[in-house]
Amino acid sequence: MPGQKNRTRGGGRRHTAGETSRAERKIEIMTRKPTQTVAKTTTPRFQAARQSITFELIVRLAPHQGLTDNLVRTFGLEPVHYDTIRDATAEHIGRAAKAFGTALNEKALQIHLQRITGAFVGSAFGAAQFYGTKKSAAMELTSKLLNDDRDEDREGPAGFESKAERGRLFAAEMALQSFALMAAAEGAITAYADLTGDEWKPYEAPLAPAASVSRKSAATEMAAFEMAA
């Protein structure tokens, strides 16, 4: 029939509005992919700034002498002899440094002592943080306002401690542990100053090199293609 010939003589079927929009979206997706890939590769790698661990920071986090004395009396714990730990640590590091003799030159010895002291300081900092966590947990277990079920506030079975009591005791023990490690860190810092003649400072890694001007320019130009309509 003539009508049928006219429908097949057009050279192909017509695209509907829905098919046209799908084709446009496909083109848009294809044009976006290279832009996203380039943007990832041209982004400069910056390292997140890390807080330097100093002895002053440890002092702010760790318990002081008066607090540890009070905890010893309250919980019946063994006292921490701060000065003894500090002096023994400094003496130990001093003897170890002298044992090297001429095996290490002045610069090598300083680098070694920098790392050793940093380890003592890092250990004391970790203990101080842990003490703060356990102190907060003990306060939460003890406070009635912070507990939905008040089981922690009730007395434990005969002959057993309650969960809150165990939490308070553990926090007290961690306080003394933190105090002792702070003494060791101070001893290491003292030894470093005596052996090198310099004040110990935390090691800071060099910053990553800034992106070149051409890389910055390329990133800016490629970002221009991603502007929303």
**Whether residue 185 sits in one domain with residue 79:** yes
**Predicted local confidence at residue 41, as pLDDT:** 43
Residue 190 contacts residue 82 (beta carbons within 8 Å): no
Establish if 183 belongs to a structural domain. Answer: yes
CA 162 to chain centre: 33
* Beta strands in the chain, from DSSP E residues, in sequence order: none
Give the number of domains in the chain.
2
Establish if 173 belongs to a structural domain. Answer: yes
**Whether residue 76 sits in one domain with residue 104:** yes
**Whether residue 97 sits in one domain with residue 184:** yes
Question: pLDDT of 144-167, one tens digit each?
Answer: 545 555 554 555 554 446 888 999
Question: pLDDT of 187-229, one tens digit each?
Answer: 999 999 999 999 999 987 666 555 566 776 777 777 777 756 5
**Predicted local confidence at residue 40, as pLDDT:** 46
Q: Residue written as tokens 């003894």?
A: 84
**Predicted local confidence at residue 102, as pLDDT:** 95
**Whether residue 183 sits in one domain with residue 150:** yes
- Residues near 218 by Cβ (< 8 Å), separated by ≥ 6? 38, 42
Establish if 8 belongs to a structural domain. Answer: no
Q: For the chain (length 229 residues), average pLDDT per consecutive 10?
A: 50 52 58 48 46 93 97 97 98 97 96 97 98 95 63 50 88 98 98 97 71 69 69
**Whether residue 157 sits in one domain with residue 73:** yes
Q: Which domain holds residue 221?
A: 19-45+212-229
Establish if 128 belongs to a structural domain. Answer: yes
Establish if 134 belongs to a structural domain. Answer: yes
Establish if 13 belongs to a structural domain. Answer: no
**Whether residue 181 sits in one domain with residue 70:** yes
Nearest CA to 42 out of 227, 173, 224, 228 is that of 224
pTM of the model: 0.66
**Whether residue 32 sits in one domain with residue 76:** no
Establish if 135 belongs to a structural domain. Answer: yes
Read out DSSP for 38-104? HHHHTS---PPP-----HHHHHHHS--HHHHHHHHHHHTPPPP-HHHHHHHHHHHHHHHHHHTTTSS
